[in-house]
Structure formats: structure tokens, C-alpha cells
Structure 1
């Protein structure tokens, strides 16, 4: 458990420097390669679904292998090398600082020009950004940080605690798949179906944990805990995904703003219900508040998990 705490702190401080090799980049490259190969073979709707299942299963196995094999090699050289490997792979599945930094880039771009902000926010959202207004850019950034609090931090930590870096990397493989092929458009409706469904299943419990932890975290950073809980309980199902609205609702309530609504994806307007009540208009400062909320949620979950681990260890000792 202490190794995961070290990994969490490293991610919180260092983030993901571009010069370091990263397992997620390898997984992404693998997904691209297999998609190119299988699409040459699969032409019908059924064949694309089968190819998508193969992509899902093989990506999970590859994700586990890129942790398991190096750890076995490191174990051969000694316990200390193995521990370093565990910490590195545990650190590599987390994205607390990366998420914070990407949101800050949008904030800084907004302070330069609307056009710069549109280009910057396009790196973190899937919607069309060419015509987004200032408030829409801010909301898009807040929604991204809120949603990714689950699949970028809380869920990886949960799987890390349950099964170590091998299981956690398997989860990250599925999460990467969902971000690359899990779209409900003409290109991926069949091919990405299995990946999107598996991502929904794996995030079902973490999303709900993250939502409630975020409510408590809103109190720590002096936001509106009552509204956060109210909107969480009321609006947690207002999303096409069964999981995304949990943290978005908690964040919207805490910030006293309204998220969601209709957006344009690949030139098509997609209706989305609104989440939260618009007690105030969004402001650039809300991006900073969302970052504080995300970080406090992550730290609170880490502390809670550590205390649970200590309690279980103590119970085993006295029994």
C-alpha cells in the first residue's frame, strides 16, 4: 500500500513528462495497429463487432503483459528493483497533475484569446470546438476534469488497491480503448461497441464512489456541499453514459453552475440534458475551483483507502 501512496505523490508532483517512456502510449500504438489490420478484414457490421471484441481482449492481455513481464525481470535482479518497477507502473496509470495542467492550459489560452482557447480545449474534448463561446469552453473544461476524476484517478487507484499495477493497467487499457474507439458514430458504433460496454462496466462502481467522495471534498475546499449532494442525487442519470454524470453532477452542485446541454459532434447536434442549477454564470476562476475539487477528491480517496488498509491490517493482527 505504501508503494501506491508513493506513486500517487509522484504523480501529484511530477505528472507525465514527455521525455519518459509511458505504457499508455504503447497501448495506444497497439490499438491503432490492430484497428488498421482488422478493418482490412472486417467489412460487415457483425464482423466489425467480432473484430472489436478481439481488439478489446487482446488489448487487455497486452496491457497486463507490459507490466507483468518487466516486473518479473526486475524481480530476478532483486527486491529493490521490483519495488521501483511497482512504483513506476503504479505512477504511470494516474493522471492527477496531467489533468490539472491540461485544464490550466485552457484557462491560460482563454486569457489570450477565444480562438486560442478553442484550439486548446479541442485537445481534451470530443465535441466540435470551432464555434464554442467562452462559457461553453469553460463548461467543457470543467466537465472533462470532473469526468476524468473517475477514469483518470479514482478508478485506477481502486483497481490498484484490488489487484496491483497489473490489474490497474488492464483497466487503463480498457479506458484507452474507450477514448479511442468507444464512440457512437458511424465509424465506431460496431467496432467500438465492446470496448465502450466494458468501460461502462468497469467504471460503474468507481464513478459512484468518486461522486460521493467529491461531495465530501467540496466541503474541504469550501464549496457548496449541500448543493453538491443534492445535484448528485438528482442528476446522476442525466448522461448518455451510466457513469459520467456522477462526478459532473457533484461538481456542478459544488460550483453552483449548470453543465451539460446540447453540443455538436462531427457536425451533428447531440442533445444532452443539463446537469445542475444555474445559480451563477461560469467564470474562468471556476476552472481553478474544479482543479482544487479534483485534487482534494483524489487526496481524500487516497487517505480513506490508506485508513481502510491500516484498519484491515490491524484487524488481521489482533485476530
Structure 2
């Protein structure tokens, strides 16, 4: 609820502060070696999870609820993701390609130069699909399982992947541990996202069965073991075909197509936003029920 009504601050956001601290740590420990990258990941993630455990330790019910609410707000990014996608839709619907290209870096790392309206629409829909898992479902799931340490630890892992997990000359070896850790942390959340996406498909006029079939048929084709699950499920729910050639600076990736529908158009951005909102709500309910079930189970065990 806080994520939906309380916008992220322009300065001093906890995730941004963590990123600055991690960047400072990287400057001190960097070497083009996997072992050094593994040490970096450990030194960055462990304190975040430990801070969460310390905040929970010995807290009464009211304080624990307040700490959990604050941590959950800090790590969730669903509302911001949907707002950025809506701003992209506004620019494209107004025919302002220059403004739309300027907005794209807020959603993904692709080079916006030369992209037309349909290319920008595809990039936006794919970003909404992938980040619905990373920014909402995954932190909620880990929070339900592990409490505040799960919330903060997951966000630290995901932030590190965004910083050093991409393939470049600098991070090919140093970022390997961070990228693999992110793959492990997102394996279950990505599949839960696909399941919730299929269940929510009727919200955008899609079919549950088609979305799930598309996930099963195409999800494994993506170079990421997790992103493809989410993008394929969104493609099936929206009746679209995602994937294709992406340009990241000097690097060009030719990704397999996901889905058997038509290519995305500008109007599909609003549909993707509605679908993501439905998935976010379903994920919150799922996480709350899971946390309640675990609380009752452990309560009985202590009794």
C-alpha cells in the first residue's frame, strides 16, 4: 500500500544509498577475477541482510510491523515501474519520439537512438514484464520467507546484478558471482510471476491457458533462465510476440522471439501496465498468505 501511495524520493532513496556504498566498495576490491567478484558480492550482500536481522531482533509486534512496512516500501519498485511505463505511453501517444527515447533509460539499458515507436513499445512491454518479477514478486516472496533480512538481502543481490552483472570487458569475470547469485535468487520468483501472469490474463482480455502454454513453449528460449519465463507469460497473456534484436551501446544481441502473437504496438503499453498491476496485487496477497502460514506453523512448533 505504501508503494502505491508514497512516491520514491528523488534523493536519498535507501536503494540508491546502497548502490553508492557498493560502488565505493567495488573501487576498493575490483580485479578482473571471479574470486574477487565473489568477495565483493559477499561483502555487499551480507551487511544488508544482517541489518535486516538486527532491525527485527527483539522487536515487539508493533515495531516489527513498522520495520517490515518500511523495508517493504524501500525495496519495492512496482509503482515506479508502472509510472515510468505510463510516461513512455504518454510520449508515444503524443507522437513525441524524442521524449520517448529520453525516457527509455529509466526502463532499460538499451540504446534508444534510432528506435521507432514500435521498438520503444516492445522495449517497454519487455521491461515491465521482467521487472514485475525483479521489483515486486521477488522481494515480496523473499520477505514472506525470511522477513526483513529477505527483503533487504534480495534487493542487495538484485542491485549488484544491475551494477556488475552485465557482460562487458570490465565485468565479464568480476561480475560473474553477482549475476549467478541473482539467477538463483530469482529462479522461484520468476516462475511465480509467470503463474500469476497467466492467472491475471483475463484482466487484459487474454486467456489463462494461452499465457501458460506460451510460457512453457517459449520461456526457456531467452538467454536469461528467469526473464524468459516472465516475458513469455506476458506475451501469451497480451497476445503478443516479444524478443528480437536489442542494441546496448556497442553490443548487439539477437534474442529469440517469444510468443506467437503480433508485435507490440503503442497501445499495448497500457495493457501491460494493467497486467502488471494485477500481478502485483496477486503477489502481495500470495506473500501475505505464505507469511501467515509460516508464522502459524512456526508458532505451533514453538508451542
Residues 65/23 of structure 1: CA separation in 2 closer, same or farther (3 Å cut)? farther
Question: 1:302 aligns to what SS in structure 2?
Answer: helix
Say yes or no: does 1:11 pair with 2:11: no
Where structure 1 has 5 or more consecutive residues not aligned to the other structure, the ranges are 1-8
Q: Contact (CA 8 Å) 2:205, 2:238: kept in 1 or not?
A: no
RMSD of aligned residue pairs (Cα, Å): 2.3
Q: Is the 8 A contact 1:14 1:97 kept in 2?
A: no
| Superposition TM-score, scaled by structure 1 size | 0.86
2:242 to 259, 266, 269: 259
Rounded Cα–Cα distance in structure 1 between residues aligned with 2:184 and 2:291: 25
Quickly say closer, same or farther: Cα 1:122–1:169, change in 2 above 3 A: same
Does the 8 A contact of 1:261 with 1:273 survive in 2? yes
3-state SS, counterpart of residue 269 of structure 1:
strand
Q: 2:71·2:151 contact (CA, 8 Å) conserved in 1?
A: no
1:303 positional shift: 2.2
In the other structure, the counterpart of 1:57 is: 42
| Structure-2 residue corresponding to 1:275 | 258
Count of paired positions:
299
TM-score for the superposition, normalised by structure 2: 0.90
Q: Find the counterpart in structure 2 of residue 301 from structure 1.
A: 283
User: Is residue 2:177 matched to residue 1:194?
Assistant: yes
Shift, 1:168, TM fit: 1.6
Equivalences for 1:132-151 in 2 at 5 Å? 132-151=115-134
1:287 shift after superposition: 0.9
* Closer, same or farther: CA 240–216 of 1 in aligned 2, 3 Å: same
Aligned pairs for 1:161-176 within 5 A: 161-176=144-159
Q: Output one character per residue of 1:265-310: Cα deviation in whole Å (capped at 9) or x when no partner.
A: 222321110111233x422221111111111112112223444555
| Contiguous gaps of at least 5 residues in structure 2 | none
Within the candidate set 35, 50, 55, 2:26 is matched to 35
* Cα distance change of structure 1 residues 294 and 170 upon mapping to structure 2, 3 Å threshold: same
Q: Which residue of 1 aligns with 2:223?
A: 240
The correspondence for 1:156, drawn from 107, 118, 139, is: 139
